[in-house]
């Protein structure tokens, strides 16, 4: 058995606390993403009524039948009623509101390196890193030889707001992250981290000013806890398309692993990086002047988490006997973008991670799978039907063909039913000990899967927009 020492547990604590704090800051930051402007009105209703009363005088024999004007009384009654009224206008109040950002770093270490793979995520869950070392983001990890990406950059909940200086010059931002990690290599003693104690100054130059944006941003940042360091460089961003961004970095970081220890060695390293961010939304300054109801969306679906209980014909269930479900599925950070085909109801999408466990031994994990489908509305825009095809290529290789009914409750928490067919192999997700046995018929039949399934799903942080609305709003982009 593998024993975890106290020192090892202590090295994990900053990263665990970073996860916890990121959720707390997400709640606080959500209050700062919206700016409310209130218009105050005084409404006055006026009404005037006029009443004419004619008094008819009695005739006289001397009038010879001639009628003379009679006296008349006119009464005018005026009424006035005033009352106050307010109207709230809500605007986006951020230039960037992010979920998770990660990147693989090149040139940051001369050792073996962590080996996180392309974009800092593709190799994190392979048997080489995950099963042997509990994940390559563990600071006790000994490294993997011959990796192009030696280091890892990781950020949770990055936010940027407009910095109004230089006579309100545009495209200057100030921001921070709930958690930041700069790991140049496999040596955990050289990792720099920050827990809600960093601040970054950036200036954005738009190479393309329509979605998807292309932005170049030089930056300078400083952190004071738990590591004290300076991080300067430049970043090239392509996005944000439904919260998905591709990023390239060139920078230099230097500081102390523990800011309160002044006698420690100075950690300094240059780096180049390729990364991505999900659930990460970028605004131009002009977009902060458009109300939320007119906000330009580029995706027809965005959700934080899709969780499903799965019923299959698998041999062994993950749950207790008698439970009708045998497995589950988790999809983290999901997006759907309409395709300019036919009526825009065809879409392409992906997820940061897609974990599918059909039964105890039938498991597949996909990083950034490719998914295409079609949306058909039933009964207005509350109930939708979406057939789809999905291909997961790494670290597992499996295909998922299905269709789902989703009920949009317009609260951000929705429910659905999915039925489909999944077929594939765990691939590099398997431990090396099982990889050696994969050629045997017993292990191949046990681990490879080929099954129909029925899933009951819940969608958290789920927002849906009709393709027509997205198309109309994109037409107003300027």
Predicted confidence at residue 29, as pLDDT, reads 47
Asked whether the beta carbons of 360 and 453 are under 8 A apart, the reply is no
Q: Contact 113/149 with Cβ under 8 angstroms? A: yes
What DSSP state is assigned to residue 131?
I
Mean of pLDDT values over 292-311: 94
Residue 10: pLDDT band (50, 70, 90) is very low
Lowest-confidence region among 39-48, 250-259, 288-297, 384-393: 39-48
CB 148 within 8 A of CB 274: no
If you average pLDDT over residues 237-246, what whole number do you get? 95
Cβ density class 8-17: b for 16+ within 10 Å, e for less: eeebeebbee
The whole-angstrom separation of Cα 191 and Cα 310 is: 40
What are 74-116's pLDDT values in tens digits? 777 777 777 677 878 899 999 999 999 999 999 998 888 888 8
Please check the confidence at residue 285 and state whether its pLDDT lies above 60: yes
Q: pLDDT tens-digit profile of 415-450?
A: 999 999 999 998 888 654 454 555 555 555 557 889
Report all structural domains of the chain as residue ranges with CATH numbers, in order of start.
Answer: 92-289 (no CATH), 297-475 (2.40.160)
Higher pLDDT, 2 or 81: 81
What per-residue confidence (pLDDT) applies to 34?
87
The pLDDT value given to residue 284: 94
H/E run at residue 7: helix 6-32
The confidence score (pLDDT) of residue 115 equals 84
Asked whether the predicted pLDDT for residue 192 surpasses 50, the reply is: yes
C-alpha distances out from residue 452 to 326, 401, 459, Å: 12, 9, 22
Residue 357, CB half-sphere, CA atoms under 13 Å: how many? 15
């Amino acid at each position: 058995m593998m024993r975890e020492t106290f020192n090892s547990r202590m090295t994990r604590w900053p990263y665990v606390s970073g996860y916890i704090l990121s959720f707390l800051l997400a709640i606080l930051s959500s209050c700062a993403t919206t700016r409310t402007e209130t218009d105050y009105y005084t409404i006055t209703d006026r009404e005037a009524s006029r009443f004419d009363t004619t008094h008819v005088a009695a005739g006289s024999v001397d009038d010879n039948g001639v009628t003379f004007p009679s006296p008349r009384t006119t009464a005018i009654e005026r009424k006035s009623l005033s009352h106050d009224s307010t109207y709230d206008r809500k605007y986006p109040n951020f230039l960037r509101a992010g979920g998770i950002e990660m990147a693989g770093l090149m040139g940051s270490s001369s050792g073996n390196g962590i080996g996180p793979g392309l974009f800092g995520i593709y190799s994190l869950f392979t048997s080489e890193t995950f099963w042997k070392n509990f994940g390559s983001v563990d600071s006790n990890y000994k490294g993997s030889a011959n990796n192009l990406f030696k280091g890892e950059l990781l950020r949770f909940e990055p936010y940027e707001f407009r910095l109004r200086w230089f006579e309100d010059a545009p495209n200057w931002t100030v921001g921070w992250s709930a958690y930041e990690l700069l790991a140049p290599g496999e040596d955990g003693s050289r990792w720099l981290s920050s827990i809600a104690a960093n601040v970054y100054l950036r200036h954005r130059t738009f190479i393309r000013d329509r979605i998807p944006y292309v932005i170049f941003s030089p930056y300078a940042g400083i952190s004071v806890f738990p590591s004290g360091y300076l991080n300067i460089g430049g970043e090239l961003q392509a996005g944000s398309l439904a919260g998905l961004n591709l990023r390239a970095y060139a920078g230099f970081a230097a500081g102390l692993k523990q800011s309160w220890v002044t006698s420690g060695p100075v950690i300094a390293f240059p780096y180049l990086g390729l990364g991505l961010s999900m659930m990460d939304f970028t605004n131009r300054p002009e977009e902060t002047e458009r109300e939320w109801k007119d906000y330009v969306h580029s995706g027809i679906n965005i959700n934080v988490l899709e969780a499903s209980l799965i019923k299959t014909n698998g041999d062994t269930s993950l749950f207790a006997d008698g439970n009708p479900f045998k497995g589950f599925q988790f999809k983290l950070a999901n997006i759907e973008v309409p395709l300019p085909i036919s009526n825009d109801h065809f879409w392409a999408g992906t997820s940061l991670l897609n974990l599918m466990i059909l039964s105890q031994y039938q498991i597949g994990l996909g990083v950034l799978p490719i998914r295409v489908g079609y949306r058909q509305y039933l009964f207005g825009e509350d109930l939708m039907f979406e057939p789809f095809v999905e291909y997961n290529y790494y670290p597992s290789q499996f295909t998922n063909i299905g269709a789902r009914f989703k009920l949009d409750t317009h609260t951000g928490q929705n429910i659905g039913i999915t039925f489909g067919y999944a077929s594939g192999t765990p691939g590099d997700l398997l431990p090396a000990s099982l990889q050696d046995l994969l050629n045997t018929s017993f292990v191949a039949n046990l681990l490879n899967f080929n099954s129909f399934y029925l899933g009951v799903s819940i969608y958290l942080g789920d927002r849906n927009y009709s393709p027509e609305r997205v198309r109309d709003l994109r037409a107003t982009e300027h």
